[in-house]
Every structure is written in structure tokens, then in C-alpha cells.
Structure 1
């Protein structure tokens, strides 16, 4: 055994120590064990690779795209997939591959902003309701129930109709309809830890309710929230594509996958690639988020088998 193998073994033993000497060692050890459980799941790794590919394609769109996503040539309109255009062209002669590549930026933009808006709102509402209880819990949960009573797409359509079409308005509408499930999860997690010994100890030490919720309750809800947000990304992509399909999301000439399917539905029988290619992109990315979410759930859930 050489020196590098010995060092790697010592590092693994340090991370897996049952008696960590510091808080940093405990955190690194938990992260290492979580990654080992996650990396042992082949489907989860496939999902991670799909999402990483989406991010890289979005970042390098200007390098990867062979043509302009908005400028076409009518002489090349509705060409089938071939050497010049790997995914064919649309009715305006624009390269579909280039539009899908640039459309990944729009998809990633929607995903990130919706997660940054909806997850904190749901986390705050759920933890406050679960910790405060009483009338605060009843009011916040009844508001949550009202939002949950409507299908997400229908509610998003109503908000976009009120705000007007556009990618920013679509993001706001999707975020408004996405936070209630996160609030439910955060409330359930809060109810399980609200009466625990360490929360009582913090209360006896004189910590304010705000500090208890922010520093001690919310961190306990993060892992469940991450899993739910990841699993919800596929639904968010489909809702965003649905709004784009109806002309209420990203507006032309912005290359958005839903609007690309809408423009190709007129040619679905003869020029199938115009609608099928962006549809495949939605399918693959949605599948990637579902596989990633399932893997995170298995890795982060302490009750999972084999841990």
C-alpha cells in the first residue's frame, strides 16, 4: 500500500469517525456519508449528469449553438434533421438545435428563480405555523389550503392572465402556486421537533421565538425541502412549458421550449421534428430532476434502508 492509499484511508476513517472531535468534522462526515449513499444509486447519478449537462449547455450556449436562435433563413424552412441541421429547422428556417440550446437558459432561469422564491416562502410559513400553533397555525394553514385547492396550472394561468404575458410574470405566477406543499412539509417537520429536548433547552436559555425558528427549527427542515423542491422541478418545467405553449410565458423570439412546441403543432404530421425535438428536451430534463430527487430522498432520509 503506497502513501496516497494510506492517506486516503486515513481521510475516510476521519470522516467516518463515530466520535467527531469538532462540529466541522461532524458536518463533513455527514456530507461524506450522504454522498456515498447518493453515488451508490446509479439512476440518481444519471439524473445528476443530466442536470449538470443542462447547466453546462446553458452556460456554454454561445459556444455550442451552431446558428443564431432567432435569425433564420426562409430558404431552409422546415428542413428535416440532417448534416447541416442536426434537429432540422422550423417554419422560419431557424435551427432547432440552436434554439433548444439557448432555450436551456430560459428553463434554468425559471427553475432557479421559482426555487429561490417559493422554497423560502413555504419554509417560513410552515415553520412559523408549526412552532407558533394556535390561531397563527390555523390561519396560515387555511391560506395554504386555499392555494392547494386549485390545480397549479389553472392557478398559474389565472395569475398570468392578471399580470400579463411574459417570462417574469410567469415565474411569479409559478412561484405563487408552488410554495404551499413546502409549507406543509416544513410544518410537519416543525411539529416533530417543537417539543424535543434541545428546543426546550434553547427556550430555557432565553432564546426568542424568532431565533429558535431561524437557527434551530428551519435547519431541520432543509433536507426534506431540498428533496421536494428537486422533485417539483419537473412539474415546474411542464407548467412553464404549458404557459409558453399558450403564449403566456416567454414571448417570441425568445427560444422557449413550450412556445417551440406550440409553433410546431401545425406541422406535427408532416414535419414532426419541429415539435418533437423540444418535447424530447422537456422529457429528458424532467426525467433528470425526478431521478435526482429520488436519489436525494434516499440519501438524505435517515430512515432509509441500508443506512
Structure 2
């Protein structure tokens, strides 16, 4: 080996894939690079990521992208126009409103529901599951029986009961969906915690004098994050469908907000003759739900240590 070869700096790829990282930063970036390689090898997962990125961009730039007002329509001259008529790409509804503009602005409500439910439900499930799995005994029994009670009810039925008690509205719908969504996350976190709590790593931390709370919050919870991210991503489609179901029944976002489920409800009267009024928001729900499912499948494969090591 020549002196030039010995002093040559490694390429970025070699630096990221080094089996002897020189710092925590290098180790973390290397892990992220391996995850991205595993994820990008799945073309369907990349397609799902593209759909979600497109949804985010549409929601951010809705005011620029929407060609018409999502609230005001032209009852006299633009009622129930078919797609492509008079500048309305996806047609109009029974109020003369542009369906494309309503779908574009409705993407904001969809993201609002998805993000808030994830922010509320995932931490609750993570805390309940890790505390239950690490503590064991009567604490585990009490927390898991509470979880079983929530799991015993169908999610949509329980959400309907909660929204009926709280009153219709997008905020109450988000709260109801979040309350019904945390039990599966608690189950996953508990199962992960029970595999970690007796490991040498946790035993060493315990011997160093760390309190149970510190062990749970700073050492066990980070180990459960990857599994939780995968489950939350896969549940996004179900959350969207539940929110659309509440909107369809008039218990979610209230008119004239352009919520996709409510748009389907208002168009069901015209489904035989003017199919686009209910068909277009249904197609939007299908595409976004498919995107989250594909993304979740890709993340599951990329974050699985067994898959990543192959």
C-alpha cells in the first residue's frame, strides 16, 4: 500500500458505512444511510413516500394551487358540471363549487387529523406500554386490562359514541379518534419492553444506579420508537377512513369545510347520474390511504434489524 493510499480520505459512502465509527454522529448518520438504502430499494415504498410528499405540498400551497374558492360556488351557471367543463377539471358539486379546489383545501384537514391523532395517541400508547412492560405485577395487570377494554370496542363505534357525547366538530373528532387509537401502540410498546427489560444493557444501567423512571424514559422508550413509527404509519390509512366516516355521518368537520368524508356524504344523492361528486373525494381517500400503507410497509422492512442486516 502506497503512502497516498494510506493518507487518502474515505469517500462519503465509505465514511457512512464504516464498521468503526469515530463518533456518535458518524454512527447515527451511518445507521440512517443504511435505513435509506433499505427503504429506497423498495419501489412501492418510494411511491408511497412520493404520494405523502405530494399531499404535504398540496396542503402547504393550497391557496396557490386551488383555481377556485372551496367555499363559494356558482349555483346558476356551474351546478353539477362534469369533469373538464368550463374550466372545472374535476367538475362541480350541487352547490356549484369546484371539486378540485375543495379536494386541495381538504388535504389540510386530512393532515390536521392525521398529525394530531399521531401526536396524541402515540405518546399515550408508548408511555402506557413501556411502564406496563417494565413494572410488571399489578401495574401491568391494571394497565393491560384498561387497554383490553378499549380494544374490545370497534374503533369506529367507540369514536361515534365519543363524538356524540362531545358534540360534532373536527376537534372533537380528532380527540375521539386519538382516544380509540392508542391501545395497539401500548401493546406493541409492552411487547418490546418485555424483551428489553432483562437484557444486559438494561441490567448494566440499573447497576449504575439509574431509577426506574430514567430507565423507562431514556433507555427503553428509544428502543421502541422504530416499531411504533411503523405501526403509526400503517394506521394512518385507518385514521383517515375513520375521520372520513365521521364526516360522512355529519359528526366530523361541519359544512362548508371541504372535508373529504363530508363531500362523499353530500354527493351520495347524485351517485348514479353525477358520479364525480362523490367519486372524486373517494378516489382522493383511496390514493392517500394507499400512500400511507406503502410507506408503512417500506419503513417496516427498513427499520427491521433482521432485514437491514441482510
TM-score (norm 1): 0.96
1:146 has 2:153 as partner: no
CA distance in 2, matches of 1:99, 1:10: 49
1:290 has 2:290 as partner: no
SS class of match (1:92)? coil
Within 5 Å, give how 1:267-286 maps onto structure 2: 267-286=270-289
CA distance in 1, matches of 2:166, 2:222: 34
Within 5 Å, give how 1:180-191 maps onto structure 2: 180-191=183-194
CA distance in 2, matches of 1:306, 1:39: 15
CA distance in 2, matches of 1:8, 1:41: 31
1:13 has 2:14 as partner: yes
CA distance in 1, matches of 2:305, 2:31: 11
CA distance in 2, matches of 1:300, 1:198: 20
Q: Deviation at 1:257?
A: 0.1
Deviations 1:129-173 (A, max 9, x none): 000000000000000000001111001001001100000000000
Q: Deviation at 1:304?
A: 2.1
Q: Deviation at 1:255?
A: 0.3
Q: Deviation at 1:201?
A: 0.8
Deviations 1:24-67 (A, max 9, x none): 11111100000010011100000000000000000000000000
What is the aligned-residue RMSD (CA, Å)? Answer: 1.2
Q: Aligned residue for 1:192?
A: 195
Q: Aligned residue for 2:35?
A: 34
Change (3 A) 1:51 1:9: farther
CA distance in 1, matches of 2:24, 2:199: 21
Change (3 A) 1:232 1:8: farther
CA distance in 1, matches of 2:119, 2:135: 24
Within 5 Å, give how 1:83-94 maps onto structure 2: 83=85, 84-94=87-97
Within 5 Å, give how 1:1-307 maps onto structure 2: 10-75=11-76, 76-83=78-85, 84-304=87-307, 307=310
Structure 1's unaligned 5+ residue stretches are: 1-6
Q: Deviation at 1:9?
A: 6.3
Q: Which deviates more, 281-290 or 195-204?
A: 195-204
CA distance in 1, matches of 2:62, 2:127: 36
Q: Aligned residue for 1:4?
A: none
CA distance in 2, matches of 1:216, 1:8: 35
Structure 2's unaligned 5+ residue stretches are: 1-7
Change (3 A) 1:284 1:91: same
CA distance in 2, matches of 1:188, 1:304: 20
Aligned length: 301
TM-score (norm 2): 0.96
CA contact (8 A) 2:38 2:308 kept: no
Deviations 1:183-223 (A, max 9, x none): 00000000000000110111111111111001000000000
Deviations 1:213-266 (A, max 9, x none): 010000000000000000000000000000000000000010000000000000
